[in-house]
Structure 1
Amino acid sequence: MERLIKPPTSKNPPTQFTGDVWVDGIARPQDDGQRASAAKVRFSPGARTNWHSHALGQTLYVTEGVGLVQNRGGEILEIRPGDSIYTLPGEEHWHGATPDDFMEHLAVMDIPDDPSTATTWLEPVTDEQYHRP
């Protein structure tokens, strides 16, 4: 039996993000063992995640706008529509919009047996880190 899954759009908490970010859920784990999670995430200009990691990794697919992504210790990469970025399990990273552009991406990941361990949220990305050339 098919089930309609449409949670409302939610604004993400400021404890995990800088700026305004909205999330529309697409898929979430089900009782039958399906573990996929997917969401459409929209960032206003300058908005970004805190540093964080995912227990089982994450794929981002940019659908609109221009964004930035960085792994801890790595270069800041510009991402555009059609770009896919895969972050390895446990790899600390952040992503968000550029200072002048909105950015929207699809975020896809598997959720572990203990959903509370799916994402580990860390400290905010400082303005100095975000604006680093």
Structure 2
Amino acid sequence: MAKSSRVPSAVGAIPVVGDLVKRAEGQAQWAQEVFEQNARMLSQLPATMKALNDSLERFNQTVGRLDSVVTRIEDTAAQLLTPLEQVAPNLDRMVAVATDTQKQVALLTSTIDRLTSLLNELPGASFVRRLTGGRPLVIEPEEPSAP
């Protein structure tokens, strides 16, 4: 029986030198590509930082303009509060008065319409119509004068 050796068998355990060189070359090429990509990114960094800085300046200008607009709106709103607080207690009464006025105008309109129809039925109304050009008697409402 053959004695077994303490040295492991070399067949298949040691890669061929050519494979090691190919792997090393591939890794070196990959490292070179990563290095070049990092260099490109670093060369773009100043332009990117300038664009970011310009954007931040424009943003700050916009915030400043918005701040002045908000201040004006707040001042205007504060000026409106006093008149609104004075008018608010009377709003219900004002709405009631407006509603009553509408009812009165509607009643007055219906009364005038009935009166006009009665006047058109009176004897001699047809004679008056002929004298006025054949138009029935209609009372024209006055137009409000322009302010």
TM normalised by structure 1 equals 0.16
Q: Tell me which structure has the larger Cα radius of gyration.
A: 2
Give the structure with the higher percent helix: 2
TM-score of the pair, normalised by structure 2: 0.15
